[in-house]
A and B are shown apart, each in its own frame.
Chain A
Amino acid sequence: MSEQLNVPTMAELMAAGKTPDILFWVGSAGSYDDRAKKITKAFVKILNKAGVNFAVLGTEESATGDLAKRAGNEFLFQMQAMMNIEVLNMYEVKRIVTCDPHSFNCLKNEYPGLGGVYDVVHHTQFIKQLIDSKKLDIKESDYKGKQITFHDPCYLGRANSEYDAPRDVLSALNANLVEMKRSKATALCCGAGGAQMFKEPEKGDKDINELRTEDALKTNPDIIATACPYCMTMMSDGVKVKEKEAQIKVMDIAELIASSQNL
């Protein structure tokens, strides 16, 4: 690492008597998964560049429980949720941003009923706000004219009706945005949701991520853009299965923005 990332924790800020404007919820994938960690770091670079006063929970963060809930374990979900809410409320957190649509959905929609009421935004929405408010100035980008297709994460798109923010951010790159035949409300899932990421698929004649990668390949993309760490895994695997990893990159929107600005 050439430059040090500035990642304050809530505990550090509290000890210094400061409060951040927003909490960055890193999530389990963003913390531990090697590929997803790169997304996390790219997003932190954007936050640093835009001078955002943020903090993370660090070791005080725990899984949202979203996975357990989708797998049917409501007990485990609510235990995780209540522990997290205790920590979040202790720090008087008001706003949360996360790169994981699953955490986003869970924190935004399922925590309020258990006493955790926050203004939750997805990182694509947050980056869009940074661009719109000129806190992030997108200069000439390396992606000008590149063919990019965006894969809608189910928990950002259908689950929470956010189709525009990721596309608006991508359009700031002056890239050639091409839509897959199945996109937005009719986008096909990457195959990871509902806890599928952690188990072998049931018997069938194809893996879902392969089918979705075929959708993407039909657009002849240079880059498949995603906005979810689990979609990232699935689409990357799909591109490998199709032996296209030399020609086509799978990148998170945060990575595209960060790298286009040489962050």
Chain B
Amino acid sequence: MNYLPNIIFAIALIVGFGYFARNVKKLVRNIKLGQDVDVSDNRSLRWKNMINIALGQSKMVKRPVSGFMHVIVYVGFVIINIEVLEIIIDGLFGTHRIFSSVLPEAVYGFLIGTFEVLAILVFVAVVIFWIRRNVIKLARFWKSEMKGWPKSDGNIILYFEMVLMTLFLIMNATDLHFQEMNTGNIISQYITPLFSGMSEGAIHFVERTAWWLHIVGILIFLNYLYFSKHLHILLAFPNTFYGRVNNKGELNNLASVTAEVKMMMDPDADPFAAAPEGAEDEVPAKFGASDVQDLSWVQLLNAYTCTECGRCTSECPANLTGKKLSPRKIMMDTRDRLEEVGKNIDANNGEFKDDGKQLLGDYITNEEIWACTSCNACVEACPVSIDPLSIIIEMRRYLVMEKSDAPTELNNMMTNIENNGAPWPYNQQDRLNWKNE
């Protein structure tokens, strides 16, 4: 009977990590639905980006207020989780604060003291985050795409963190043995008096409850990630690694188009020649992207990484002037559609069954796609190297090359380029006239 808590703890761990692993597998499968893209270049720059941008939070602090608080929550989250290691060992082996008997008392006290200070700082930062969202109502958290689940999601995460930090401090405050040690209880010693009226047994019960809720809460939070924008705490790392390494202005040249254009321009090419062996497979199903499977896996990873902070949208010239385009919505739509496709595959024994829907049209409208100025403000603003512009361009490619569905003025402009080598209807022979005007 003595082993019952250990067994329950082990089961909780297995269920918690097991379900998470199952969802991570699904996540990887969904990301791999994207087109393959070569990311083997610029290894050292990629590592540097990951270390600076994800680990070092270099882009977060471009906005000092939210950046500073984010660093607190981030550092707190990472460091306090060292404590989880102790909790897991204690839970599995029935020990109590195993590190306190392994480590010198001063070291243990220093560690826990650090955690306590961080816990209170995280709590304060999270409260300020909540106030920014719900009381000050910062515009970027109240855009039209932030209704319903995205809005609740943002708040639920904050509540989770508040509760977890509170439980951690209560757990320490009601651990009478730990309080007697009187080292590392920098914050919790002020919480202990709140329980002074209670019997020792009752206080112990509170301590056990807080301990259990804390670890179970962490496991629930871990599993919440897959359903939440909060996935960025994991995916920011691969995303900054696989993010753009060339100049932001460079759009990729479609290799499939290059092949066709070269053939068109080659006077010796035989237009009626049969395609070489195997060439059939190389021709893409379509130019550009109308659905998530047409995007690259990096773009799909981008979508899962997006934490809906809205820094992109708050810098987007189209959005700032009241147009429908919101780069954040492009990423949210991409993720929503990808999830829908993933569920479709789950429901149909691993095969995607056409559901008559696609990302472009059912989620993202042409109006949004055509409002973009390709200015890269969204790409620059993203703290985790997401590139909404590349998705917009892929959809324009689809609209123009597959559907001939560009705004009329743009079609006129393109006809002019085709006929006169300029976007206006001027004769190419007049191109140097300015010299003598």
Contact = CB atoms under 8 A, between A and B. Distances in A.
Interface of A: 1, 5, 7, 9, 26, 28, 30-33, 37, 40-41, 56, 58-59, 61-63, 65, 67-76, 78-80, 82-83, 105, 108-110, 113-114, 154-155, 158-161, 185-186, 188-189, 191-196, 198-208, 210-212
A186 B254 CA distance: 29
Given A63-B421, A76-B417, A198-B412, 18 more contacts: A5-B435, A32-B434, A33-B424, A37-B434, A67-B413, A70-B374, A72-B393, A72-B399, A110-B251, A114-B253, A154-B377, A158-B380, A159-B248, A160-B248, A189-B377, A198-B423, A203-B322, A204-B323
Contact of B377 (A28, A79, A158, A207): A158
A79 B410 CA distance: 17
A208 B371 CA distance: 11
Interface string B360-394: 00000001001111111101110000000000010
B417 A59 contact: no
Nearest to B258: A78
Contact of A114 (B258, B288, B379): B258
12 contacts: A26-B434, A59-B431, A63-B423, A71-B413, A72-B398, A109-B246, A160-B247, A160-B249, A189-B377, A196-B373, A203-B322, A206-B322
B422 interface: yes
Interface in B280-326: 287-288, 315, 317-318, 320-325
A224 B376 CA distance: 22
A56 B432 CA distance: 9
B317 A188 contact: yes
Contacts of B418: 76, 79
Interface in B95-114: none
A73 B401 contact: yes
Nearest to B323: A204
Contacts of A191: 317, 321, 373
B380 A199 contact: no
Contact of A109 (B249, B321, B376, B409): B249
Contacts of B375: 154, 158, 189, 193-194
Contacts of B323: 201-204
A208 B317 contact: yes
Interface of B: 246-251, 253-254, 257-258, 260-262, 264-265, 287-288, 315, 317-318, 320-325, 367, 370-377, 379-381, 393, 395-401, 406-407, 409-410, 412-414, 417-418, 421-424, 426, 428-437
A183 B269 CA distance: 50
Contacts of B376: 154, 158-159
Nearest to A182: B315
Contact of A37 (B371, B373, B437): B437
Given A58-B431, A194-B372, A208-B373, A75 B417 contact: no
B253 to A, nearest CB: 5
A186 B380 contact: yes
Nearest to A62: B421
Nearest to A111: B253
Contact of B288 (A67, A72, A203): A72
A247 to B, nearest CB: 24
A156 B372 CA distance: 18
A56 B373 CA distance: 29
Given A113-B253, A193-B373, A188 B320 contact: yes
Nearest to A161: B247
Contacts of A110: 250-251, 253
